[in-house]
Chain A
Amino acid sequence: MVMIYIVTYIVAALILIASALVFIFKDVLHIAVALSTVFLINSVLFLILQQPILAVIQLFIMIGGVSTYLFVGVAAASYSNFKYTNYIALVGLSIVIFSAITYGAYSTSTITQAGTSNSINTFSSNSIASTFNSSYSIISFYIIGIMLFSIAITAILLLNRLRSV
Chain B
Amino acid sequence: MFGIFLLLSFALFSLGIAGIAASRHFVVMILSVEILLVGSSLLALSSYAYIATGQILVLLFAIWSIAALEVIALVVFYRYLAKLEVSMNVTKLMKYKER
Complex Cα gap A133–B84 (Å): 58
Q: Which residues of B contact A93 (CB under 8 A)?
A: 14, 17-18, 21-22
Give B contacts to A, CB under 8 Å.
1-8, 10-19, 21-25, 27-28, 30-32, 34-35, 38, 41-42, 45-46, 49, 51, 56-57, 60, 64, 67-68, 70-71, 74-75, 78, 81-82, 85-89
Complex Cα gap A37–B87 (Å): 27
Q: A23-B32, A79-B86 are in contact. List 18 more A-B contacts (CB 8 A).
A: A5-B4, A15-B12, A19-B35, A23-B22, A35-B35, A51-B49, A61-B67, A62-B34, A69-B30, A76-B82, A76-B88, A80-B87, A85-B28, A90-B19, A98-B10, A102-B10, A105-B6, A111-B2
Known: A45-B42, A82-B89. A69 touches B17 (CB 8 A): no
Size category, A interface: 35 or more
